[in-house]
Structure 1
Amino acid sequence: MEFGVLGPLEARMHNKSIVPTAGKPRQILSLLAIRAGRVVQVETLMAELWGNSIPRSAATTLQTYVLQVRRKLTAAGVQQTGRSAKDVLETCYGGYRLTPDEFSLDLLEFQQMVRLGGRTLAENDPATASEQLSRALDLWRGPALTDVPIGEVLSTEVIGMQEERAWALEMRLEADLSLGRHAEIIGELRMLVSQQPLHETLSAQLMTALYRAGHPWRALDAFQSLRHALIKELGVEPSPRLQRLHQAILANDTDLQVPSATLHALSA
């Protein structure tokens, strides 16, 4: 079975889609796929489907939705594995568990690749890290579960995915800066900063890229834009880290240039 949650929901068995048409069964399948191999409690599923407005018929309705997912499994030929739909989507004490013999989930692949890219970057191999993190980010096909109604449980899961994606992007940009690709990523950084004007790390990366590209005045403008946004929205000044970067740009600090060791490695 193959599952994809980094974009529209994808779920396939034997190359046949098992994604339900209706919204609430999609929610159930999404949550079971994200937590494949683990029991998802009935209370958790009900909270996802109905929040604090759980109807009296919730238990029976939930069973109906589970039955719809099992019918999709049967229609996709689950019996070819020697198991029934009830075996793959088990009823457990207090909940349900999705237990395919073999399955892939793009979220797990993404998380593994991000961890690998982070370790590689920490080991001072930005070229490999940039490639690994780029491959991880390429797994995203759009906003997570964009075609699935999101309740309170999936909302938490999606927030976690988005945070991991943001962290992977920051690391990839940092790797690219280390590789001297500052001119190539200025446009991307400008777009990201315009979307997140209070994000200090992205602003710092933009300032560094602009300075290295020979535009120190634009780097200083980027700092002032961040400062004005922080004061207006939060009533605070930029962090000491950003203020030190600002002072380094004013002083034309040579430490802001691409490390000579990196340049030597790239030219070797």
Structure 2
Amino acid sequence: MEFRILGPVEVRTPGAAPRALRRKPGQVLAVLAARCGKPVPVDRLLDLVWGDDPPPRARKSLQVHVSALRAEGVPVRHQDAGYLLAADPDQVDALRFRALAARAADVPDLAERRAAYARALDLWRGTPLAGAESEPLRAWLCAPLEAHHLAVQETAIGLDLVLGRNGEAVDALTPLVAEHPFAENLRYQLMTALLACGRRTEALAVFQDVRRTLADELGVHPNTRLRALYRDALGV
């Protein structure tokens, strides 16, 4: 059985199509999956699923949602005044992503390392917990996962640049820059890839855009590395 939270919360049994979960059971499973094999106290579950203002019968509702998960075959156990997901961490896509990304960093051959990162990135199906987010879960679980996802993407694209896969890097970076307009390293990578492809005018436009964005929104200038790349592109 596989527990998937890197996208809509799903349970997948070998040989069967993934089963999407309703919002609240999905939130409960997401918390337990993120702490796979470790008990999560009931009070912590209530805080993460319902936030600061849980309904009067939140504890009873939690029991109902746990029962719904068990009816789906999810191995949830009651332990130490809390609940745990009695599964191997490798059955949780988010934990497998972290493990694969960590192992990829140690692969000596650059092309094989890039392929290893690709296997980790392939586990992502969209926004974590899509359709089942809550403010506490976003801060506790989703935001850290997304930050790690972006860091792995940047590392993988950096390998593309080293390996001379500049066109692929441009294709990957263009939507990422649009999604993260203040991420200066992404801009640096995109300018580098465009320059390597002989697309100097587009590379200069990337710098002009980030300069306007940073000035208008944050009142700051691009970092030293970006400015140096821009000067190099201008030939000055």
Over residues 18-65 of structure 1, what are the superposed CA-to-partner deviations in whole Å (9 max), with x where a residue is unaligned?
A: 968542122112211221111111111111222111233222222222
Q: Which residue of 1 aligns with 2:117?
A: 133
1:1-268 → structure 2 map (5 Å cutoff): 1-13=1-13, 21-73=21-73, 88-100=75-87, 104-120=91-107, 123=108, 125-153=109-137, 155-251=139-235
Gaps of 5+ in 2: none
Gaps of 5+ in 1: 74-84, 253-268
The Cα shift of 1:166 comes to 0.7
Instruction: Sort the Cα spacing of 1:157 and 1:134 in 2 relative to 1 into closer, same or farther, 3 A.
Output: same
Q: Give the TM-score normalised by structure 1.
A: 0.78
Over residues 87-106 of structure 1, what are the superposed CA-to-partner deviations in whole Å (9 max), with x where a residue is unaligned?
A: x4222222111213786111
Bigger-Rg structure (1/2): 1
Instruction: Sort the Cα spacing of 1:48 and 1:17 in 2 relative to 1 into closer, same or farther, 3 A.
Output: farther
Instruction: Sort the Cα spacing of 1:172 and 1:43 in 2 relative to 1 into closer, same or farther, 3 A.
Output: same
Q: Runs ≥4 in structure 1, deviation > 3 angstroms?
A: 12-22, 100-103
The Cα shift of 1:197 comes to 2.0
Instruction: Sort the Cα spacing of 1:217 and 1:68 in 2 relative to 1 into closer, same or farther, 3 A.
Output: closer
Instruction: Sort the Cα spacing of 1:240 and 1:102 in 2 relative to 1 into closer, same or farther, 3 A.
Output: closer
The question of whether the paired residues in 2 share the 8 Å contact of 1:126 and 1:176 is answered with: no
The Cα shift of 1:69 comes to 2.0
- SS where residue 205 of structure 1 aligns? helix
Instruction: Sort the Cα spacing of 1:200 and 1:44 in 2 relative to 1 into closer, same or farther, 3 A.
Output: same
- What CA distance in whole angstroms lies between the structure 2 residues aligned with 1:194 and 1:154? 21
Instruction: Sort the Cα spacing of 1:212 and 1:101 in 2 relative to 1 into closer, same or farther, 3 A.
Output: closer
Q: Once superposed, what is the RMSD of the aligned Cα atoms?
A: 2.5
Q: Which residue of 2 aligns with 1:265?
A: none
- Mean Cα deviation higher: 8-17 or 160-169: 8-17
The Cα shift of 1:229 comes to 0.7
- What CA distance in whole angstroms lies between the structure 2 residues aligned with 1:128 and 1:20? 34
**Amino acid corresponding to residue 83 of structure 2 in structure 1:** Y
- SS where residue 105 of structure 2 aligns? helix
- SS where residue 139 of structure 1 aligns? coil
- SS where residue 143 of structure 1 aligns? coil
Equivalent pairs: percent with the same residue? 34
- What CA distance in whole angstroms lies between the structure 1 residues aligned with 2:162 and 2:21? 46
Over residues 113-161 of structure 1, what are the superposed CA-to-partner deviations in whole Å (9 max), with x where a residue is unaligned?
A: 21223333xx5x3312221111211111222221424351354211111
Instruction: Sort the Cα spacing of 1:59 and 1:192 in 2 relative to 1 into closer, same or farther, 3 A.
Output: closer
- SS where residue 32 of structure 2 aligns? helix
- What CA distance in whole angstroms lies between the structure 1 residues aligned with 2:197 and 2:139? 40
